[in-house]
Copies of this chain bind each other. A is one copy, B any other.
Amino acid sequence: MGEGTDEGGARPGEERVALPERFDAGLYFIGRIRTPWTRREDCPKNAGASDALVTIELDPRWQAGLAELETCSHVIVLYWMDRAPRDLVVQKPAHYAHGRGTFALRSPARPNPIALSVAELIGIEGARLTLRGLDCLDGTPLLDLKPYFASVDAKPEAHVGWRESERGGAARN
């Protein structure tokens, strides 16, 4: 399996590390996410910014696993950012003033490029799900679906200090 790196040396504000020699576990792609966006620059800046409906095509092998998911209003979607480099530990998105640690960012570039979105579940037909609130590229591999439990997953009081300083104390988004 390739290392998923799509870039060469580090740019200013970035830091790379040598990757481990081997993987420790394996993933199955269990479906694909179908979105209107085929180029990275077309994707919404964040999932909350788009009302677009997207479709998840689950591999029929796993279809029985959807039973009663239709009773859930929101779903946690885990997916695989297969184009992201995995060796970046400090990175500087273009609109940020300086580099920050990968684990302080939601960038797709991370040792295990697993992305997470909380999406509104609109409906399920067979092995096809319709959702709102995903912003990934068309064809993105799906890893998992989980019910969103407000009692443990919703922390409306949470804050991200660096975002507030980046924006001069403006709204958190």
User: What residues make up the interface of A, taking CB atoms closer than 8 Å to B?
Assistant: 1, 4, 15, 17-20, 22-30, 46-48, 61-69, 71-76, 78, 80, 82, 86, 89-90, 99-106, 110-112, 114, 116-118, 141, 143-163, 165, 172-173
Contacts and interface: CB of A to CB of B under 8 A. Distances in A.
B155 A154 contact: yes
A25 to B, nearest CB: 5
Contact of A29 (B25, B29, B86, B103): B25
A149 B19 CA distance: 28
A165 to B, nearest CB: 8
A153 B150 CA distance: 10
B158 A73 contact: yes
Contacts of A66: 101, 103-104
Q: Count chain B CB atoms within 10 A of each CB in A61, A75, A153, A163 and give the residue with the most.
A: A153
Contacts of A145: 103
B48 A152 contact: yes
Given A68-B100, A111-B28, A159-B73, A172 B147 contact: no
A27 B28 contact: no
Contact of A112 (B22, B28, B48, B82): B28
Q: Count chain B CB atoms within 10 A of each CB in A26, A86, A100 and give the residue with the most.
A: A26
A27 B17 contact: no
Given A62-B89, A101-B66, A144-B110, A25 B26 contact: yes
Nearest to A64: B89
A144 B69 contact: no
Contacts of A28: 19-20, 23-24, 86, 111-112
A69 B103 contact: yes
